[in-house]
Amino acid sequence: MKIIETDTGRALEHNGQTTNLLALPVDAVVHGYDTPQGLWAGVQEAGKPRPVYAGAGGVKIGTVDLPADPVAALEEKRQSALERLKGAIDSKLRTLINEYPEHESATWPTAVEESRAIVAGTATDTPHVTASAAESGLTANELAQTIVNNANNYAAASGRIVGLRIKVKESIKAATSEAEINAALELLND
């Protein structure tokens, strides 16, 4: 009884009979049974229950180690790296707004729209900026310019982070080895 490579992946072979095996990202053990229907294989991952042929007339013929499928293992690492990437990007974007009260950012679209109109000289109604300026002691024009500058800085900073996410994601998707996946994730530390 042995593991062989076929056109469709790996299979268990015994006395001229074969049965296809799952592509697992971890090492496992294959339990082979000679049954009235032919060769039967049960695959056991570490820490999982041993599979047993449930039909009548099955005789266990042995076990053989099944190394992790390299393609499946790489895909599992790729999916894990993509999850890590999402968390890292979320964290980087959160740091851009952490110094502000949580609900203040909900007012930003209104403040930016009104401020751009004030700076452009096309403003007709700017209740948010007018009230904020009056409370802050700044003129509406001073506050509007500050808000536009901050919005532009935020757009540039968040754009760099989004661009980094795209670059790292594409590098992870194109990776052909664990080392390449790790190198892609290292870009997050630059």
User: Taking the domains of the chain in order of start, what are their residue ranges?
Assistant: 2-68, 71-189
User: How would residue 56 be classed by pLDDT, with cut points 50, 70 and 90?
Assistant: confident
DSSP string, 164-190: HHHHHHHHHHH--SHHHHHHHHHGGG-
Residue 52 pLDDT more than 90? no
Residue 190 pLDDT more than 80? no
What pLDDT, on a 0 to 100 scale, did the predictor assign at position 99?
A: 86
What pLDDT, on a 0 to 100 scale, did the predictor assign at position 54?
A: 82
What pLDDT, on a 0 to 100 scale, did the predictor assign at position 51?
A: 87
What pLDDT, on a 0 to 100 scale, did the predictor assign at position 50?
A: 87
What pLDDT, on a 0 to 100 scale, did the predictor assign at position 74?
A: 96
Residues 6+ apart with CB under 8 A from 60: 31, 32, 33, 53
What pLDDT, on a 0 to 100 scale, did the predictor assign at position 91?
A: 95
Strand-pair category, 28-35 with 59-66? antiparallel
Residue 11 pLDDT more than 80? yes
Structure tokens at 86: 């999402």
Sheet bearing 38-45, strands edge to edge: 38-45, 28-35, 59-66
What pLDDT, on a 0 to 100 scale, did the predictor assign at position 55?
A: 83
Distance of CA 36 to the CA centre of its chain: 45
Distance of CA 70 to the CA centre of its chain: 20
Tell me the per-residue pLDDT of 125-164, one tens digit each, with 9 for 90 and over. Answer: 999 999 999 999 999 999 999 999 999 999 999 999 999 9
Question: 3-state DSSP call for residue 3?
Answer: strand
C-alpha to C-alpha distance for 22 and 8, rounded to whole angstroms: 10
Q: Which residue has the higher pLDDT, 50 or 11?
A: 11
State the DSSP H helix or E strand holding residue 32, giving kind and residue range, or none if neither. Answer: strand 28-35
Tell me the per-residue pLDDT of 154-168, one tens digit each, with 9 for 90 and over. Answer: 999 999 999 999 999
Lowest mean pLDDT among 37-41, 96-100, 116-120: 96-100
Residue 69 pLDDT more than 90? yes
Mean pLDDT (the chain, rounded): 95
